[in-house]
Amino acid sequence: MFDNFVVPDLLPAAPELFITAMALVILVADLFVKDSRRTLTFVLTQLTLVGCVFLQFATSTGEITYTFSNMFVDDLMSDLLKLFLYMTVFVVMFYSRGYIIDRPAMNKGEYYVLALFATLGMMVMISANHFLTIYIGLELLSLSLYAMVAMNRDSVVSTEAAMKYFVLGALASGLLLYGMSMIYGATGTLEITGVAERLYGGGVNQTVLVFGLVFLVAGLAFKLGVVPFHMWIPDVYHGAPTSVTLFIGSAPKLAAFAIVMRLLVNGLITMAQDWQQMLIILSVLSMAIGNLAAIAQTNLKRMLAYSAISHMGFMLLGIVTGVVSGDARYALNAYSSSMFYVISYVLMSSGTFGMILMMSRAGFEADNLDDYKGLNKRSPWFAGIMLMLMFSMAGVPFFVGFFAKFSVLQAVMAAGYTWLAIVAVIFSLIGAFYYLRVVKLMYFDAPADDTPIQAPADIKWLVSLNGIAVAAFGLMPQVLMSLCAYALLRSL
pLDDT in tens, 84-138: 999 999 999 999 988 888 888 888 889 999 999 999 999 999 999 999 999 999 9
pTM (two decimals): 0.94
Average confidence score pLDDT of the chain:
90
Side-chain-side CA neighbours of 414 within 13 Å: the count stands at 22
Any domain includes 389:
yes
Q: How confident is the model at residue 416 (pLDDT cuts 50, 70, 90)?
A: confident
Q: Flag whether 429 is in a domain.
A: yes
Taking only the tens place, the pLDDT of each residue in 47-95 is: 999 999 999 999 988 888 998 988 999 999 999 999 999 999 999 999 9
Report the C-alpha gap between 247 and 253 in whole angstroms.
10
Residue 2 has pLDDT above 60, yes or no: no
Asked, for residue 5, whether it belongs to a domain, the answer is: no
pLDDT higher than threshold 80 for residue 326: no
CB 129 within 8 A of CB 156: no
Query: In this predicted structure, what is the pLDDT of residue 345?
Result: 95
Query: What is the pLDDT confidence band of residue 3, given thresholds at 50, 70 and 90?
Result: low
The answer as to whether 427 is a domain residue is yes
Q: Sorting pLDDT into bands at 50, 70 and 90, what band is 1?
A: very low
Confidence (pLDDT) at 284 = 95
Report the alpha-carbon distance of residue 153 to residue 169 in Å, rounded: 20
Burial tier of 413 (Cβ tally within 10 Å: 0-12, 13-18, 19+): middle
Band of residue 154 on the pLDDT scale cut at 50, 70, 90: confident
Inside any domain, residue 3:
no
Domain housing 150: 11-489
CA atoms of 52 and 126, how far apart (whole Å): 15
Pairing of strands 65-67, 72-74: antiparallel
Q: What confidence tens digit (pLDDT) does each residue in 251-265 have?
A: 999 999 999 999 999
pLDDT at position 459: 86
**Is residue 66 assigned to a domain?**
yes
Domain count within the chain: 1
